[in-house]
Amino acid sequence: MAGVEQVKVAADEGGMRLDRWFKVHYPGLGFGHLQKLLRSGQIRVDGGRAKSDTRIAPGQLVRVPPLGTDAADVPAGPLTARTMRARGDGDVLSQMLLYEDDKVLVFNKPAGLAVQGGSGVSRHVDAMLEAWRNKKGEKPRLVHRLDRDTSGILVVARTRGAAVSLTKAFRERETQKTYWALVKGVPSPHDGRISTYLVKEQTPDGDRMRVGKHGDEGADHALSHYRVIDQVGQQFAWLEMEPYTGRTHQLRVHATHIGHPILGDPKYFEADTNFEFPGGVQKRLHLHARRIVIPHPDGRGTIDQLAPLPPHMVQTWNLFGFEEATGND
């Protein structure tokens, strides 16, 4: 861009955060560079200074200065644990964002990024959300979890009231959560339910869940549904899985329990000695939180969001000739 521009906010952009607006219009502009331009007053809204969380209104004029070469230096392409390393928290959150309004954020979490801190965790979503505190000083709040190696839909509340409502929706099972998984073998029947009790146990490699019995100490009931979407002969199957309960590692344990563990699962994948990992398929967990349907905390209908597959699963889907549209039917 050669000089200063005055860009008018479109009618359908009302209420959008300014940093999100820049992400849409100038996707190569890094979050750190954007912050410098805002702090120095080079970016303005209707002539006044603005911040990254400023809410813009239709018809307002955004002053956009020459953006220089910094924007071209920002890594492009999908987020992975590797490509995130050199990027600021706010920038990463902006690229993860699928949906936002004044109460709710929905992210597509990359595989390998932890949701909360723990042993050996140097970066996680909960800490990254500090970058998006609002004018009142409120940090967005987690309302559910995903395993570190599981990619996909992560819902976050922007306010305390929204957090209470969303947490209740998860607790009372008012949400519909759909996962995609690639498993060893093909389940029979192709459509079924898995009902067990799960018990957490300590191992040298950390917490692990096992199938237990009703009455076992610490045993919680776990119920899942699965259906086969597509398959590669009798070797592998693409499953749609829905957890009706929300136990730790539930889908991963249930898949193994029925004899069809999820490919790349470092804790629960089991195979005979003759099994060979397919060439061209990365040894990473093939489990993705694909979709969520959840009541809006303000009671205004539902939020229904889909998350694109992570790069390692896109690679596998292409290798096996799976069509994403088939899973959306």
- Residue whose token pair is 């922007």: 158
Helix axes 18-25, 31-39, angle to 10 degrees: 120
Q: Which of 65-69, 70-74, 117-121, 289-293 has the highest mean predicted lDDT (pLDDT)?
A: 289-293
Contacts with 209 (C-beta within 8 Å, 6 or more apart), sequence order: 198, 199, 200, 201, 247, 248, 249, 250, 252, 253
Q: Annotated catalytic, 147?
A: yes
- Residue whose token pair is 């899973």: 327
Phi, psi of 171 (to 5 degrees): -65, -40
Phi, psi of 100 (to 5 degrees): -150, 145
Contacts with 215 (C-beta within 8 Å, 6 or more apart), sequence order: none
Q: Would strands 176-184 and 48-49 be described as parallel, antiparallel, or unpaired? A: unpaired
| pTM metric for this prediction | 0.78
Classify residue 11 by its DSSP letter. G
- The region of weakest confidence among 1-5, 181-185, 191-195, 260-264 is 1-5
Separation between Cα atoms, residue 101 and residue 42, nearest integer Å? 27
From 19, 91, 147, 265, the catalytic residue: 147
Q: What is the pLDDT of residue 2?
A: 47
Q: What is the pLDDT of residue 71?
A: 43
Mean pLDDT of 102-123: 90
What region does 267 belong to: left with phi over 0, alpha with psi -120 to 50, or beta? alpha
Contacts with 314 (C-beta within 8 Å, 6 or more apart), sequence order: none
Mean pLDDT of 215-221: 93
In whole numbers, what is the pLDDT of the chain averaged over residues? 89
Mean pLDDT of 5-23: 86
Comparing C-alpha atoms, which of 154, 279, 145, 290 is closest to residue 229? 290
Contacts with 294 (C-beta within 8 Å, 6 or more apart), sequence order: 155, 166, 169, 170, 174, 175, 176, 302, 303
Separation between Cα atoms, residue 208 and residue 210, nearest integer Å? 7
Instruction: Output the CA–CA distances (angstroms, integers) from residue 56 to 12, 35, 182, in the order listed.
Output: 11, 17, 42
Classify residue 132 by its DSSP letter. G
Q: Is 131 helix (H, G, I), strand (E, B) or coil?
A: helix
Mean pLDDT of 262-269: 94
- The region of weakest confidence among 62-66, 231-235, 316-320 is 62-66
Query: HEC string of 240-271?
Result: EEEECCCCCCHHHHHHHHCCCCECCCCCCCCC
Q: Please work out, in degrees rounded to the nearest 5, the angle formed at the alpha carbon of residue 18 by the alpha carbons of 157 and 65.
A: 160
Separation between Cα atoms, residue 222 and residue 195, nearest integer Å? 6
**Buried b or exposed e, range 147-172, using 16+ CB within 10 angstroms:** bbbbbbbbbbbbbeebbebbbebbee
